[in-house]
Structure 1
Amino acid sequence: MTSNKPAAESKLQDFEFEAMNLQVGGRIQFITHRTIKPIQHFSTLIGYVKDEYLIVKIPMENGASIVLNEGDKLTIRVFSGVTVCSFACSVLRIFGRPLNYVHLSFPDAIQGTSLRTAMRVKVDIPAQLSYRDVAAVPVFIVNLSVSGALIEAPSMLTPDDEGVALSFTLLVQPNKHQMRVNTRARIQNVSVGKPSNGKAAEVAEIYTYGVQFIDLEPTHYTLLQNLTYEALIADRQKIV
């Protein structure tokens, strides 16, 4: 039986800044403490100067930037795919419209938890899979992580040791523009069962393949990292 609990976490521990593996364009959770109850927002990392400051986009709410003041205390939470880290910081300088970004103090202490496995997110994404001289086969991706995917195919695949080519489209937040992901993957396991979500009801059985990504581009890794983190924060039912 598949559990709805997220991947098991270890106890809280201290992390070095480099261990967070921050990526430009990566989504972060931006938590303000201006009211009794902390308010959570999503933001994007623009860059940083080591030991000096971070540069992040000012979160948007109802089509406008949230109100910030210099000196405001914040908590930033970062997800790397296999770790969840958080740290306290403060607003150093605000750059308003049309730039809408802010300098934050560099973290003095970082704490977090390591996940025993990369978190997987339930999805339903059409994709194309090809290998050797075989024409591209339409498949569905039913879960995704930064390290691989679970795909459903209508027939048996017989790739060699060189693996397969997988192509699919992700929606990039916050504007939901489409980005095509093309990557190599290696099939790790295969099983036969019923289609998920009632797809292809006329098909009696479907082949399910667990694949591991090979040399995923850093930009695409960040996209998958963001997808997983937003599901972790906003919709934990999607976590496998």
Structure 2
Amino acid sequence: MNKPAAIVMTKKSSIDFEDMNLQVGVRLQIMSSQSATPAVHYTTLIGFVPGEYLLLKIPQESSAMSEGENVIIRVFSGVSVFTFSSKVESVVTAPRAFLLLAFPSSIQKVGLRKAVRVKANLPVKIKNGPDPQNFKMATLSDISLSGALVSTARPLGTSGDLIDIEFTLRDQASDRDVTINTTASIRSVQQSAGSTADGATFHTVYSHGINFHDIQAANQVILQNFVYETLLVHRT
């Protein structure tokens, strides 16, 4: 069985603001540090002056942040997550809407291992040959940077076989859906019993542990962000 790997983070390290190499337009997570179970909101960096302040777009939930509120910011970059605390110094609504935040004094960098898996429930197409209309639908039950667990009603093959798959992820940087096509090899196949949501009907489920082979670099970044955002949202 291709079991999900344990969630492991490398030791946190303190870094300088410049080390994050933040670019205007990057998507960020922002949440209140004053709540035991803070809601995660998404925003965009629209500018900063080193040592003085940050400018962020106001999240769609206009009441999400208020002046004087202490917040936590998370930034996803490559195989690392940067986290820092700040304070909302001003909520500006005219002539342009933005948040003015205090410049962070301490930034933490967390490295995440490639084998970290997160739960997913993503539809995936299993392609059969060059005909785009010839495919089977399945479910990605979990996913990592290097592979996934695919659940189907019929076996896709045996260990060592290659399959072509297609699935869609949400790209937070551009706020759009991106379709990922890749070849994968089957590592393992396990048969188990499944049931409908109401438990009335039982059926056989085939779980395939697969390894990705050739995901494009741009799509690899999108996959990284999906894995890390899912992981961190469930840890908040």
TM interval, short-chain normalised: 0.5 to 0.7
Deviation of 1:10 after TM superposition, in Å, equals: 2.7
Deviation of 1:101 after TM superposition, in Å, equals: 2.9
In structure 2, how many angstroms separate the alpha carbons of the residues matched to 1:4 and 1:148? 10
Query: Would the aligned equivalents of 1:120 and 1:228 in 2 still touch at CA under 8 Å?
Result: no
Letter in 2 for 1:120: R
Deviation of 1:125 after TM superposition, in Å, equals: 2.2
Deviation of 1:143 after TM superposition, in Å, equals: 0.6
Letter in 1 for 2:214: I
Residues 1:125 and 2:125 aligned together: no
How many equivalent pairs are there?
A: 226
Q: What SS does the corresponding residue of 2:203 show, helix, strand or coil?
A: coil
Name the CA shift for 1:114/1:170 in 2 (closer, same or farther; >3 Å).
closer
Residues 1:202 and 2:203 aligned together: yes
In structure 2, how many angstroms separate the alpha carbons of the residues matched to 1:211 and 1:133? 21
Letter in 2 for 1:232: L
Letter in 1 for 2:184: R
> What are the within-5 Å matches in structure 2 for residues 61-80 of structure 1?
61=61, 64-69=62-67, 73-80=70-77
Q: What SS does the corresponding residue of 2:232 show, helix, strand or coil?
A: helix
User: CA RMSD, aligned part only?
Assistant: 4.5
- 1:26 is aligned to 27
Deviation of 1:181 after TM superposition, in Å, equals: 2.0
Deviation of 1:208 after TM superposition, in Å, equals: 0.5
Deviation of 1:111 after TM superposition, in Å, equals: 1.2
Structure 1, unpaired ranges of 5+:
none
Deviation of 1:197 after TM superposition, in Å, equals: 6.6
Query: Would the aligned equivalents of 2:185 and 2:212 in 1 still touch at CA under 8 Å?
Result: yes
Deviation of 1:142 after TM superposition, in Å, equals: 0.5
Q: Deviations over 1:138-170 (max 9, x none)?
A: 221101234432212422348999x65422344
Percent of paired sites with the same residue? 24
In structure 1, how many angstroms separate the alpha carbons of the residues matched to 2:56 and 2:217? 23
Letter in 1 for 2:151: E
Letter in 2 for 1:29: I
Query: Would the aligned equivalents of 2:32 and 2:69 in 1 still touch at CA under 8 Å?
Result: no
Letter in 2 for 1:74: V
In structure 2, how many angstroms separate the alpha carbons of the residues matched to 1:118 and 1:106? 34
Structure 2, unpaired ranges of 5+:
none
**TM-score relative to the length of structure 2:** 0.66
